[in-house]
């Protein structure tokens, strides 16, 4: 993901969508790469190194408007707020150490989360620390809080997905499909301009077999391709993979248990296998229920039964 989000067009797209609701305020030509590594001293006086995912200066007319950072997460990290606070603090420290630049500029950092379970833990320092029971309330009045600027893709609605215009639109569409596999939406407009990095991020999230052929063939990743065609190919691959896995698991379990109780029983078993496979692929519970179109209590019982084995 780092290579993908480090592209100026993608970086701009993600931040413009979050900060300006899709208005193209930050331009790719205004971004300047910053070394993501920084040094600090730990509590024992030893020098340590911190490395961020992507950090860029936003400049206009030679003036630094801000230092912008973007961290990518597939898993919920309860200590992420501490990490982001440390990253931003180190960036301000480096401004103090820079004797050539006397103007101070804001540091603004974001976390791009593309897991499948909504991020609800420790969105602020206040939530992450424990105040003492005695005198804690008085102490808390003077506590300087810090909040995560979180981009939680599990909570995206259609209007959020449609804010993007770069190759990130393809990734946001694929994640929306992952969260809502039963919802069919118009294929995304536009073209994919960098096929290699887009193919790499699809492979990292969904596996090499899910990468649309048109992303990796013809002229060694060179040239633009229609985003709609690539997205249709991706959806077809993901659906086929889910069906094949469900069929294989169903056949194996059916042979083992000797299930031959008629067509209706077979349909229920098939839906059960689909539910188990979606669970194995980390789909959220509500998406699984919508996909199999059965009572949530039945689906919950299947998943609990499987989880207890």
Residue by residue, DSSP assigns 25-73 as -S-GGGEEE---EEEEE-TTS-EEEEE-SEEEEEEETTEEEEEEEEEEE
**CA–CA separation, 211 vs 209, rounded Å?**
6
Beta strands in the chain (DSSP E): 31-33, 37-41, 47-51, 54-60, 63-73, 107-113, 150-152, 191-192, 225-226
Q: What is the pLDDT of residues 193-205, one digit of tens each?
A: 888 888 888 888 8
Place 28 in a pLDDT band, splitting at 50, 70 and 90. very high
The answer to whether residues 249 and 277 touch, using CB atoms and an 8 Å cutoff, is yes
Q: What is the DSSP-derived secondary structure letter of residue 111?
A: E
**CA–CA separation, 8 vs 6, rounded Å?**
6
Mean pLDDT across the chain, nearest whole number? 82
**CA–CA separation, 210 vs 47, rounded Å?**
43
**CA–CA separation, 135 vs 123, rounded Å?**
24
Task: Give pLDDT, residue 221.
Answer: 58
pLDDT higher than 60, residue 245 = no
Which tokens belong to 254? 């059916």
pLDDT higher than 60, residue 266 = no
Which tokens belong to 265? 């029983």
Parallel, antiparallel or unpaired: strands 54-60 and 47-51: unpaired
pLDDT higher than 50, residue 258 = no
Q: What is the mean pLDDT of residues 156-182?
A: 90
Task: Annotate 123-161 with DSSP letters as a single string.
Answer: -BHHHHS---TTTHHHHHTT----B--EEEGGG--HHHH
pLDDT higher than 80, residue 86 = yes
Q: 96 to each of 47, 85, 180, how far by Cα in Å?
A: 18, 17, 47
**Cα-only R_g, the chain:** 23
Place 222 in a pLDDT band, splitting at 50, 70 and 90. low
pLDDT higher than 50, residue 260 = no
**CA–CA separation, 281 vs 176, rounded Å?**
15
Which residue would you say has higher pLDDT here, 46 or 72? 72
Percentage of residues in the chain with pLDDT exceeding 90? 39
Q: What is the mean pLDDT of residues 279-299?
A: 78
Which tokens belong to 245? 């896995």
Strand, coil or helix: 113: strand
pLDDT higher than 70, residue 48 = no
Task: Give pLDDT, residue 269.
Answer: 59
Place 88 in a pLDDT band, splitting at 50, 70 and 90. very high
Out of 42-46, 76-80, 106-110, 279-283, least confident range: 42-46
What region, left, alpha or beta, does residue 140 occupy, with left being phi > 0 and alpha being psi -120 to 50 degrees?
alpha
**CA–CA separation, 49 vs 8, rounded Å?**
25
* Domain boundaries defined on the chain: 1-154
Task: Give pLDDT, residue 262.
Answer: 42
Q: Residue 254 CA to chain centroid, in angstroms?
A: 36
Task: Give pLDDT, residue 268.
Answer: 60
The answer to whether residues 53 and 5 touch, using CB atoms and an 8 Å cutoff, is yes
Task: Give pLDDT, residue 255.
Answer: 47
Q: How many residues does the chain have?
A: 309
**CA–CA separation, 187 vs 5, rounded Å?**
22
Place 263 in a pLDDT band, splitting at 50, 70 and 90. very low
């Amino acid at each position: 993901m780092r290579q993908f989000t480090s592209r100026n067009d993608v970086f701009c797209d993600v931040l413009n969508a979050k900060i300006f609701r899709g208005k193209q305020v930050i331009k790719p030509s205004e971004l300047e790469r910053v070394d993501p590594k920084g040094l600090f001293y730990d509590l024992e006086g030893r020098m340590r190194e911190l490395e961020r995912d992507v950090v860029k200066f936003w400049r206009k007319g030679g003036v630094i408007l801000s230092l912008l950072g973007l961290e990518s997460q597939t898993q919920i990290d309860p200590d992420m707020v501490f990490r982001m606070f440390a990253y931003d603090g180190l960036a301000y420290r480096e401004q103090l150490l820079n004797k050539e630049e006397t103007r101070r500029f804001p540091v603004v950092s974001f976390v791009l989360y593309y897991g499948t379970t909504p991020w609800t833990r420790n969105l602020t320092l206040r939530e992450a620390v424990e105040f003492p029971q005695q005198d804690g309330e008085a102490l808390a009045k003077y506590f300087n809080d810090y909040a995560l600027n979180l981009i939680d893709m599990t909570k995206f609605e259609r209007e959020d997905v449609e804010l993007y215009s770069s190759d990130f639109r393809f990734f946001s569409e694929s994640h929306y499909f992952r969260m809502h596999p039963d919802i069919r939406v118009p294929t995304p407009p536009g073209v994919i301009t960098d096929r290699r990095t887009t193919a790499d991020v699809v492979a990292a999230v969904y596996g090499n077999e899910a990468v649309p052929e048109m992303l990796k063939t013809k002229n060694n990743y060179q040239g633009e391709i229609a985003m709609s065609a690539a997205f249709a190919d991706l959806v077809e691959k993901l659906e086929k993979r889910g069906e094949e896995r469900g069929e294989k698991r169903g056949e194996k379990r059916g042979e083992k248990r000797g299930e031959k109780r008629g067509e209706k029983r077979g349909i229920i078993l098939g839906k059960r296998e689909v539910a188990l496979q979606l669970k194995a692929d980390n789909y959220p519970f509500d998406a699984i229920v919508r996909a199999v179109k059965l009572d949530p209590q039945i689906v919950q019982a299947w998943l609990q039964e499987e989880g207890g084995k």
